[in-house]
Amino acid sequence: MSPTRNIDFTTLTMKDALDLAILIEEEAYDRYSELADQLTQHDTPDAAHFFRLMMANEEKHRAALADRRDAMFASAACGMTRAMIFDVEAPDYDEVRAFMTLRQALETALRAEQKAHAFFVAALERITDPTVRTLFEELAAEEVLHQDLVRRELAKAPPDPAIATEEFADEPTGE
């Protein structure tokens, strides 16, 4: 399933490309926020805390892109909407579980960064505008840097317990 709809990458302009990149960061921010709330609600504080750090990262990236967009196109109307993208950099809803470990949360973020990298690389095959190509190459390279950051954190994270939490923890209660 394609993570974008109604976007023609062959004719994508720099303004639309920046708007798209901003929306991707916004979507990731919102998803990490939702997932952190879910985990907080279910007593999974380490993973929730890590997802809040990811929110801060996504917001930093969004703000940098928004500054760049403002400098280049000032108040020009945005031609992209959230309905055009889905799960580009945002982790899937079903990535999280109650009592997931910090390591599992890091692995979730790593998969999300890998997914975003794959998206930009695939889009590059269709992009013709040289400035947009440069932007997408830069964004793809940034995703590799983010993956490296997460891998470094993974190397420091404590190993998962020998017994998986679902082996001994009660299921979450609905009421």
Partner 1 sequence: MNLVAKDFKSDLKPIWCPGCGDFGVLQAIYRALAAIGRPPHEIAFISGIGCSSRIPGYTTAYGFNSVHGRALPIAQGLKLARPELLVLAAGGDGDGFSIGGGHVPHAVRRNDDLTYIVMDNQTYGLTKGQLSPTSPLGLRTVTSTYGSLEHPVNPLLYVLAYGAGFVAQGTPADIAGLTEMIEAAIRYPGFAFVNVQSPCVTYGEEHQQIKAHKATMKALADLGHDPTSRAQALEHAHAYGRELLTGIYYQEPDPPPTLGALVRGRQEALASAAKPRAQILDAFVQH
Query: Applying CB under 8 A, does 98 fall inside the site for partner 1?
Result: yes
* Dihedral over alpha carbons 10, 15, 21, 26 (to 10 degrees): -140
Query: Applying CB under 8 A, does 95 fall inside the site for partner 1?
Result: yes
**Please, which residue, 74 or 83, has the CB nearer to partner 1?**
83
Rounded to a whole number of angstroms, the minimum distance from the CB of residue 133 to partner 1 is 26
Query: Applying CB under 8 A, does 94 fall inside the site for partner 1?
Result: yes
Query: Applying CB under 8 A, does 164 fall inside the site for partner 1?
Result: no
Query: Applying CB under 8 A, does 35 fall inside the site for partner 1?
Result: yes
Helix (H, G, I), strand (E, B) or coil at 40: helix
Sign of CA dihedral 7, 68, 77, 59: positive
Task: Output b/e per residue, 49-62; b: 16+ Cβ within 10 A.
Answer: ebbbebbebbbebb
Query: Applying CB under 8 A, does 41 fall inside the site for partner 1?
Result: yes
Query: Applying CB under 8 A, does 83 fall inside the site for partner 1?
Result: yes
Query: Applying CB under 8 A, does 175 fall inside the site for partner 1?
Result: yes
For 81, residues 6+ apart whose C-beta sits below 8 A from its C-beta are: 23
Number of H helices, E strands in the chain: 5, 0
Where does this chain bind partner 1 (CB under 8 A)?
1, 5, 34-35, 37-39, 41-42, 44, 82-86, 92-98, 100, 171-175
